[in-house]
């Protein structure tokens, strides 16, 4: 591969069916894994957030320092954002008393602010542009904010809105189906639709994760958080084998996003 071809490759994977399967599995794993450390291990939200935050920082540093796209490193970093997002949202909503609505409103503002800063700095928020250190830094900051927001939204719809885990999952699934329809039937910006889908897969994963490990009295299946997390890890490994992740070509992305 020539230097020009290498620079044209983004540091993020192509958006395929396999990508979305991995994304939903990673968000669900973030919920069960985050709860396993903060609740099952009894470390609490603050210590767990610090622990996962350190892992997230190390993973992002390794991702940015990498000269090419590495699927395992990329998806490990995604999982790191979901786990720290889970415990951070729970810390804000429950320990700090912001509540699900207040926490969601704050996180929406932070997410929109991150998009604004990214666009102002680079002129685009397309994933095809993520092949420089600056773009990557904004990309991962945006993802971390979206994952944290997704946890708060998932908890709000399932608990405060009283939809329950199954009802919330159906609702978010319907919204994602609508985005798919808009993608194929309209000329709405593919970048906007991508980020809407990316954000919405997080609360979907959050409510599915809660459904797996919450007590039967709360509407869950009361499965072991450790067992559920292990199964999700194996599922992600299988997806990476069945649907190999390849880097996005920024030259093609700039024409389609």
Domain residue spans of the chain: 10-243
Q: CA–CA separation, 160 vs 139, rounded Å?
A: 30
DSSP 3-state of 113: helix
**pLDDT score for 79:** 96
pLDDT of residue 4: 38
CA of 100: how far to CAs of 108, 112, 165, in Å?
A: 12, 18, 15
3-state percent breakdown (helix, strand, coil) of the chain, nearest 5: 80, 5, 15
User: What pLDDT is recorded for position 9?
Assistant: 57
* Each residue's pLDDT expressed in tens, for the chain with a length of 257 residues: 444 344 445 788 989 999 999 999 999 999 999 999 999 999 999 999 999 999 999 999 999 999 888 999 999 999 999 999 999 988 887 888 787 778 788 889 999 999 999 999 999 999 888 888 899 999 999 999 999 988 888 888 887 777 888 889 999 999 999 999 999 999 999 999 999 999 999 999 989 988 888 888 777 888 899 999 999 999 999 999 988 888 776 554 444 44
For residue 224, give Cα distances in angstroms to 109, 218, 233.
35, 15, 14
89 Cβ contact list (under 8 Å, min separation 6): 103, 107, 148, 149, 151, 152, 155
Helix axes 17-35, 225-242, angle to 10 degrees: 160
* Phi and psi, residue 249, nearest 5°: -85, 115
């Amino acid at each position: 591969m020539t230097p020009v071809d290498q620079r044209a490759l983004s540091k993020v994977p192509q958006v395929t069916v396999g990508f979305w399967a991995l994304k939903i599995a990673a968000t669900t794993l973030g919920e069960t894994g985050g709860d396993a450390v903060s609740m099952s291990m009894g470390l609490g939200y603050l210590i767990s957030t610090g622990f996962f935050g350190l892992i997230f920082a190390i993973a992002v540093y390794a991702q940015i320092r990498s000269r090419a796209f590495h699927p395992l490193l990329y998806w490990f970093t995604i999982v790191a954002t979901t786990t720290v997002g889970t415990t951070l949202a729970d810390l804000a909503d429950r320990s700090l008393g912001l509540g699900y609505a207040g926490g969601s409103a704050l996180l929406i503002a932070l997410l929109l602010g991150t998009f604004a800063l990214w666009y102002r700095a680079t002129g685009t928020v397309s994933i095809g542009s993520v092949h420089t250190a600056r773009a990557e830094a904004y990309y991962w900051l945006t993802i971390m904010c979206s994952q944290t927001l997704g946890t708060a939204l998932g908890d709000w719809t399932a608990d405060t809105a009283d939809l329950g885990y199954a009802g919330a999952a159906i609702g978010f699934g319907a919204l994602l189906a609508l985005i798919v329809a808009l993608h194929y039937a309209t000329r709405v910006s593919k970048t906007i639709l991508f980020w809407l889908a990316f954000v919405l897969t997080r609360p979907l994963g959050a409510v599915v994760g809660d459904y797996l490990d919450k007590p039967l009295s709360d509407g869950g299946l009361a499965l072991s958080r450790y067992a559920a997390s292990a199964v999700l890890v194996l599922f992600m490994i299988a997806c990476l084998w069945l649907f190999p992740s390849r880097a996005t070509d920024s030259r093609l992305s700039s024409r389609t996003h």
